[in-house]
């Protein structure tokens, strides 16, 4: 089932049932359920694994099953309590940033957040800021004292709460059983991940973590909480609810394409004047196209939008302003799941590379699931090695690749928007991408040519030869200063 169809079905339910009333102790639960439902259904459609009930319990709550001594248990509780207290009361900060390891890239000898670091540096707020990472953090990849693995602390807090006080979660969501029955009538066994027990688990996780973030925000008193990928997990949703209820400004910073049918950014029918408190109150966008997608459903609500540009690209354009621009390569920006290597490189793409004899840069997704070694063997097997350079998006700045690009290819990467900003043409290879970027297809330098088209090579060659001698745009935005918010 296509992503568009899955979102259509979810929107049908959003219109039919009183999802805006599905609230537990002030926390709006529908955005969390909507995202959870969408991504598990798309995972099933792509034959990916889903998050099971047991994983829901294990990942967030279970302690190790080895029973320590009474003395050992007491020491562990005291140690956990001291660590949490130090985190909660350590220092006040004005700016909190929620991000993940996948938002980093290698620069100046460290993996730094490519969206947050330029903003923090431009605003000179290093001493007033903390970056809370909700995914991918390890002690080995910590690059600054201001970067914290927040999930460690929230999990620790939840375990202590459950040890000292048993929270009884009682809730009743109007028409929820009718909603679930109708869902089951459509998806049948495919909905096994979304049982009635799942709601109990989700509500419990979010509420207990909400208590942690509510306490933390009350103590540190931030002016603004910034997010990358506000829908990433229950920690992020819980923190959003806490910040919004404390009337702290919440801002989602665009990190990729904001397009239909993305469930977090398009077609919210349950939004009322006050919106959901598990959504950001502000969206900072790269461009007018992205902003317009948010405005389609947020107009008339308390949600605000603003075009601020792509902080990562702006920073790189300033840093590499003297970079030599040769425009001799084709750039291919890849996706991650559910794509496999044969999806990226069907016979039509392989033949295109061989026939045009133009060197290609293959840019791997920051969360690439295949591995450079697999690509190396694939290109060697298809006799393409001499025409291919493989670049890891976490190691090679995008600007370095774009400065060498004559023509960009992708299925639906957000690099379409970044290439457009620099006046670089793009060929969109998939129907999904054409739907994602349908508002951009009127642009002269963006062309949809499906890689399954029987005349694919001829159409690409025709588009390529028709391109004028394009010069990279020299217009560069400035990064906003958050101190004036």
Q: Hunting for tokens 């995202």 — which residue is that?
A: 35
pLDDT of 485 over the 80 cut: no
First-to-last alpha carbon distance for the chain, in angstroms, is 43
Burial class (CB in 10 A: 0-12, 13-18, 19+), 363: buried
pLDDT, the chain, mean: 88
Q: Could you tell me which residue, 40 or 229, shows the higher pLDDT?
A: 229
Residue 111 pLDDT: 80
pLDDT of 478 over the 70 cut: yes
Which pair of structure tokens corresponds to residue 339?
């794509």
Residue 63 pLDDT: 32
Contact 294, 300 (CB under 8 A): no
Exposure string of 153-166, with b = 16+ CB inside 10 Å and e = fewer, is: bbbbbbbeeeeeee
pLDDT tens digits for range 48-74: 544 444 444 444 333 333 445 555 555
> Which CATH code fits 321-466?
3.40.50.2000
pLDDT of 29 over the 80 cut: yes
Query: Can you list the positions of beta strands (E) in 3-117?
Result: 23-24, 27-28, 95-99, 104-107, 110-113
Collapsing DSSP states into helix, strand and coil, what is residue 40? helix
Contact 95, 128 (CB under 8 A): yes
Contact 107, 204 (CB under 8 A): no
Using CA of residue 84, residue 85, residue 91, residue 95, what is the dihedral sign?
Answer: positive
Instruction: Average the pLDDT over each of 72-76, 88-92, 284-288 and give the range with the smallest value.
Output: 72-76
Residue 27 pLDDT: 96
Contact 404, 326 (CB under 8 A): yes
Collapsing DSSP states into helix, strand and coil, what is residue 356? helix
Instruction: Average the pLDDT over each of 132-136, 166-170, 250-254, 402-406 and give the range with the smallest value.
Output: 166-170
Q: Could you tell me which residue, 9 or 194, shows the higher pLDDT?
A: 9
pLDDT of 322 over the 90 cut: no
Give the percent of the chain with pLDDT over 90: 64
Residue 143 pLDDT: 58
Exposure string of 437-452, with b = 16+ CB inside 10 Å and e = fewer, is: beebeeeebbbbbbbe
Give the percent of the chain with pLDDT over 70: 91
Region 415-420: what's the mean pLDDT? Answer: 95
pLDDT of 109 over the 90 cut: no
pLDDT tens digits for range 158-169: 988 888 777 777
Domain positions in the chain: 3-65+153-309, 321-466
Region 375-381: what's the mean pLDDT? Answer: 97
Region 357-376: what's the mean pLDDT? Answer: 94
DSSP result, 120-144: HHHHT-GGGEEEEE-SS--GGG---
Region 13-23: what's the mean pLDDT? Answer: 94
pLDDT tens digits for range 227-251: 999 999 999 999 999 999 999 999 9
Residue 471 pLDDT: 72
Q: Could you tell me which residue, 140 or 321, shows the higher pLDDT?
A: 321
Nearest to 98 by CA among 249, 314, 206, 253: 253
DSSP result, 299-349: TTSS-EEEE---HHHHHHHHHTTT------EEEEE---TT--HHHHS-HHH
Measured distance CA(244)–CA(67) in Å, rounded: 40
Region 327-349: what's the mean pLDDT? Answer: 92
The CA angle 441-300-262, to the nearest 5 degrees, is 40
pLDDT of 408 over the 60 cut: yes
CA distance to 6, 26, 116, 165, per residue, from 327 (Å):
40, 54, 29, 63
Nearest to 250 by CA among 280, 284, 218: 280
Contact 144, 117 (CB under 8 A): no
Q: Could you tell me which residue, 53 or 184, shows the higher pLDDT?
A: 184
Contacts with 408 (C-beta within 8 Å, 6 or more apart), sequence order: 330, 331, 332, 333, 402, 415, 416, 419, 424, 425, 426, 427
Contacts with 342 (C-beta within 8 Å, 6 or more apart), sequence order: none
Residue 448 pLDDT: 98
The CA angle 206-212-215, to the nearest 5 degrees, is 135
Residue 476 pLDDT: 81
């Amino acid at each position: 089932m296509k992503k568009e169809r899955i979102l259509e079905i979810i929107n049908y339910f959003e219109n039919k049932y009183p999802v805006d009333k599905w609230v537990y102790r002030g926390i709006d639960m529908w955005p969390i359920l909507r995202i959870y439902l969408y991504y598990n259904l798309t995972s099933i459609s792509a034959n990916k694994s889903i998050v099971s009930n047991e994983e829901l319990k294990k990942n967030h709550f279970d302690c190790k099953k080895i029973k320590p001594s009474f003395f050992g248990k007491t020491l562990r509780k005291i140690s956990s309590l001291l660590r949490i207290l130090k985190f909660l009361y350590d220092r006040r900060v004005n700016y909190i940033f929620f991000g993940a390891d996948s938002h980093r890239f290698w620069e100046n000898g460290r993996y730094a957040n490519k969206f947050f670091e330029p903003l923090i540096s431009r605003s000179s707020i290093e001493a007033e800021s903390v970056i809370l990472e909700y995914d991918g953090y390890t002690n080995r990849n910590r690059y600054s004292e201001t970067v914290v693995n927040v999930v460690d602390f929230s999990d620790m807090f939840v375990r202590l709460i459950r040890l000292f006080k048993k929270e009884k979660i009682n809730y009743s969501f109007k028409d929820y059983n009718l909603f679930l029955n109708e869902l089951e009538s459509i998806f049948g066994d495919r909905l096994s991940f979304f049982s009635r027990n799942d709601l109990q688990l989700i509500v419990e996780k979010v509420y207990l973590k909400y208590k942690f973030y509510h306490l933390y925000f009350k103590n540190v008193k931030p002016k603004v909480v910034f997010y990358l990928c506000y829908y990433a997990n229950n920690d992020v949703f819980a923190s959003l609810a806490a910040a919004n209820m404390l009337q702290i400004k919440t801002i989602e910073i665009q990190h990729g394409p904001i397009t239909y049918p993305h469930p977090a950014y398009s077609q919210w029918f349950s939004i009322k004047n006050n919106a959901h408190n598990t959504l950001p109150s502000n969206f900072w966008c790269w461009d007018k196209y992205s902003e317009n997608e948010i405005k389609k459903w947020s107009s008339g609500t308390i949600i605000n939008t603003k075009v601020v540009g792509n902080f990562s690209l702006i920073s790189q354009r300033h840093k590499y302003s003297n970079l030599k621009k040769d425009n001799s390569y084709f750039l291919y920006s890849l996706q991650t799941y559910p794509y496999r290597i044969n999806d990226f490189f069907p016979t039509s793409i392989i033949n295109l590379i061989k026939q045009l004899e133009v060197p290609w840069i293959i840019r791997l997704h920051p969360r690439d699931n295949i591995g450079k070694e697999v690509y190396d063997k694939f290109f060697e097997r298809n006799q393409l090695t001499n025409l291919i350079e493989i670049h890891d998006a976490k190691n090679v700045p995008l600007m370095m690749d774009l400065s060498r690009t004559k023509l960009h290819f992708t299925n639906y990467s957000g690099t379409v928007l970044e290439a457009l900003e620099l006046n670089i043409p793009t060929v969109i290879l998939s129907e999904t991408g054409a739907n994602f970027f349908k508002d951009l297809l009127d642009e002269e330098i963006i062309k949809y040519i499906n890689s399954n088209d029987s005349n694919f090579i001829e159409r690409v060659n025709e588009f390529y030869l028709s391109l004028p001698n394009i010069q990279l745009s020299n217009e560069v935005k400035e990064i906003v200063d958050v101190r004036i918010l």
